[in-house]
Structure 1
Amino acid sequence: MGEVLGKVLVVDDDEVIRQLIAVNLNLEGFEVETATDGQDCLDRVLDVMPDVITLDVMMPCLDGWATAEKLRTEEATSHIRVVLITARAQDDDRRRGLGIGVDAYLTKPFDPAELIQVVRDLAADGRR
């Protein structure tokens, strides 16, 4: 087993997608934790302290927009790299995500190789 590339918190209410992302990142050498929705993410983020969070937008309880905003406004989590993953591909959605300060935006269905590359780049950038 090689060097761990970083820690990722995968947040998605869809178990199949959550596991797909987690397995792909784990195989690539990331340490992966999962959360089932935005509130679960916020409840766990300080314990996990990930380098990167992959965050679904459309979730019950607390959606990805509100979760990303909360992560950005809290000093303890404002540095964590955030990748929004969503089926919503409109320009307005991208602008909203960038306005919040997310680091990357991927649309479903996504290419696992692209996701891995985005997370790898963000994790490496965050560790410099």
Structure 2
Amino acid sequence: MDDNKVIRQLIRVNLELEGFEVVTAADGAECLDVVHDVRPDVVTLDVVMPRLDGLRTAARLRADPRTAHLPLMIVSACTQHEVESGLDVGVDAFLSKPFEPGELVSIVRTLMGRERRREADPEPEEPEPAPVGREHE
């Protein structure tokens, strides 16, 4: 989810080149509809969005039992406050814009692997530290 069409395309192309199927949304409200229709393995969220921002979208996904365990990743020019707010609502990973495509793919794979392990062994466990992309310089 990103309101910038170029960023959505960049994320889509880089993930599709690695064999992922990608569905996009232009804002948080559209993202919620897409998530319930498509049932994705991972959701990437920008923070600053029209209608419903990425942090409020993440909070709504966490509050819904159907999506409470869905891996969420913020892809944004994150401030420390946004990272802290994201951790408070349960975001799993952060990637600062501008980002390296390989780093995007790596974090998505990590999150998908974690979700598959959770589905195979639904016993609660100690939370893993959130993968964090390189700091915005």
**TM-score, with normalisation over the residues of structure 2?**
0.83
1:36 aligns with 2:26: yes
Amino acid at match of 1:85: V
Structure 2's unaligned 5+ residue stretches are 118-137
1:106 aligns with 2:95: yes
Residue in structure 2 matching 1:55, options 25, 41, 45: 45
Name 2:81's counterpart in structure 1.
Answer: 92
Give CA-to-partner distance per residue, 1:64-111, whole Å, 9 cap, x none. 0110000000001111100001113x3222111111100001111111
Name 1:7's counterpart in structure 2.
Answer: none
State, as a whole percentage, how many aligned pairs show the same letter: 55
**Length, aligned pairs only:** 117
Residue in structure 2 matching 1:71, options 52, 61, 66: 61
Q: State the superposition RMSD in angstroms.
A: 0.8
Which structure has the highest strand share of the two? 1
Runs of 4+ in 1 over 3 A off after TM superposition: none
Name 2:12's counterpart in structure 1.
Answer: 22
RCO comparison, higher one (Cα < 8 Å, 6+): 1
Structure 1's unaligned 5+ residue stretches are 1-10
**TM-score, with normalisation over the residues of structure 1?**
0.88
